[in-house]
DNA sequence: ATTCTGACA
DNA sequence: TGTCAGCA
């Protein structure tokens, strides 16, 4: 089911070490729209490239929503400038999200350190009182 | 044998 | 995303 530029869902699943379920999952999310041979899904080289992009986005920590934006860009090699600008915006939004999460983590860390210190003091105070 | 859709102890 | 079911 291969050789030319046609791939079965299994060909892609094996190639990218993912399950066929995962590929269908991405399709449900609108990330891919493979051709059909009756009910069977038939993937082109373009579909394979798209899946590659989806997987790359996932590795970079992008949400499926962000990946959807990135994939849509790939689908239109035409207007380069607008694409790059949109891509840049997606990257900025992602950076913004990560920085917010980092800020939240740091805040939680300081709160944790404070609680820990209060706990230590309460503990030593109690021990002193008992001895 | 393999894929597909739908569903969820 | 896994998995099981009931089809084709």
> What's the pLDDT tens digit per position in A16-74?
999 999 999 999 999 999 999 999 999 999 999 999 999 989 988 888 888 888 888 77
pLDDT in tens, A69-110: 888 877 766 667 887 888 888 889 889 988 999 999 999 999
Burial class (CB in 10 A: 0-12, 13-18, 19+), A54: buried
List the domain boundaries for chain A. 1-75, 80-131
Which A residues between 38 and 57 have a beta carbon under 7 A from any strand B atom?
A: 39-41
Q: Which residue is nearest to nucleotide C8 (CA to C1')?
A: A39
Please state, in angstroms and as integers, the Cα–Cα distance from residue A37 to each residue in A32, A40, A61, A104, following that order: 16, 5, 33, 49
Sign of CA dihedral A112, A118, A120, A126: negative
User: Is the pLDDT reported for residue A114 higher than 60?
Assistant: yes
**Per-residue DSSP letter, A39:** T
Tell me which fold the domain A1-75 belongs to.
Multidrug-efflux Transporter Regulator; Chain: A; Domain 2 (1.10.1660)
Q: Using CA atoms, how far apart are residues A103 and A92, in angstroms rounded to an integer?
A: 16
Q: Which residue is nearest to nucleotide B2 (CA to C1')?
A: A10
């Amino acid at each position: 089911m291969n050789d030319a530029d046609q791939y079965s869902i299994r060909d892609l699943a094996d190639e990218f070490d993912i399950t066929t379920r995962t590929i269908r999952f991405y399709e449900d999310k609108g990330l891919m729209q493979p051709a059909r041979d009756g009910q069977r899904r038939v993937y082109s080289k373009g579909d394979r490239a798209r899946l590659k992009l989806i997987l790359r986005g996932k590795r970079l920590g992008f949400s499926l929503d962000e990946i959807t934006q990135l994939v849509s860009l790939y689908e239109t090699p035409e207007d380069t400038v607008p694409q790059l600008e949109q891509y840049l915006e997606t990257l900025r939004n992602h950076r913004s999200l990560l920085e917010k999460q980092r800020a939240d983590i740091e805040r939680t860390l300081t709160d944790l350190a404070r609680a820990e210190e209060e706990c230590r003091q309460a503990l030593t105070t109690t021990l002193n009182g008992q001895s």
